[in-house]
Amino acid sequence: MRAIDVRDLLENPGASRTVRVQEPVPGLRTELADVPEDAPIAADLTLESVVEGIYVRGSLEGRFVLRCARCLKAFERDFDVEMTELVAREPGPDDDYALAPDLTLDPEPIVRDAVVLEMPFSPLCRPECLGLCAICGGDRNLGECPGHERIDPRWEALGVLLEDLSGSPDHDD
């Protein structure tokens, strides 16, 4: 994202203005969520000059491409994230963001952090998604699983053991 020149604001504490940003932010990706690089994040950011620096306020709009944590189907969902952050002029240990030495403000780190917090950890295509069958891998939403009883793993192990015994070459009968 392009840096915003805020020198005019810094000279007038209490003053504010709104800037429109609409740019893609690369690298916003987790295992099951992605903000595609061709989908810009848009926001009207209100920049307010305070003694400590510039307050940035606004709501970020964009689109997630998600993969369902249960059935792995890809789907999309729009997001709208509210944020308010201070970009400090002389950052102390508690300040997350700072103005650049040339007194410009780079909105990208603030936007990135706010969107990352909003990315779903375990997205679902719909709340009642049935997911994939653990045995045959069929999509149970599509009725791809014929429906089978799961064999108790202890019996399964015993079955293998019995097969081994009967098939053993030392076994003379």
SS3 labels along 100-113: CCCCEECCHHHHHH
What's the distance, Cα to Cα, between the start and end of the chain in Å?
A: 80
The answer to whether residues 19 and 27 touch, using CB atoms and an 8 Å cutoff, is no
Work out how close the CB of 32 gets to Zn ion at its nearest, in angstroms, rounded to a whole number.
Answer: 11
Per-residue binding string, Zn ion, 60-99, x by CB under 5 A, is --------x-xx----------------------------
Q: Given candidates 60, 66, 125, 132, which one binds Zn ion under the rule CB under 5 A?
A: 125
Report the DSSP pairing between strands 53-67 and 33-34.
antiparallel
Task: CB nearer to Zn ion: give 58 or 70.
Answer: 70
Name 104's bridge partners: 5
Of 5-13, 47-55, 123-131, 165-173: span binding Zn ion (CB under 5 A): 123-131
* Rounded Cα distance, 112 and 95, in Å: 16
* Rounded Cα distance, 135 and 91, in Å: 55
- 47 lies in the site for Zn ion, by CB under 5 A: no
Work out how close the CB of 31 gets to Zn ion at its nearest, in angstroms, rounded to a whole number.
Answer: 15
Of 15-23, 28-36, 95-103, 136-144: span binding Zn ion (CB under 5 A): 136-144
- 133 lies in the site for Zn ion, by CB under 5 A: yes
Residue burial 49-72, b: 16+ Cβ < 10 Å; e: rest: beeebbebbbebebebbbbbbbbe
Q: Which distant-in-sequence residues (6+ apart) come within 8 Å of 162 by Cβ?
A: none
Work out how close the CB of 145 gets to Zn ion at its nearest, in angstroms, rounded to a whole number.
Answer: 3
Task: CB nearer to Zn ion: give 55 or 75.
Answer: 75
- 33 lies in the site for Zn ion, by CB under 5 A: no
Compute how many residues bind Zn ion; rule: CB under 5 A: 10
**Residues near Zn ion (CB under 5 A):** 68, 70-71, 125, 129, 133, 135-136, 138, 145
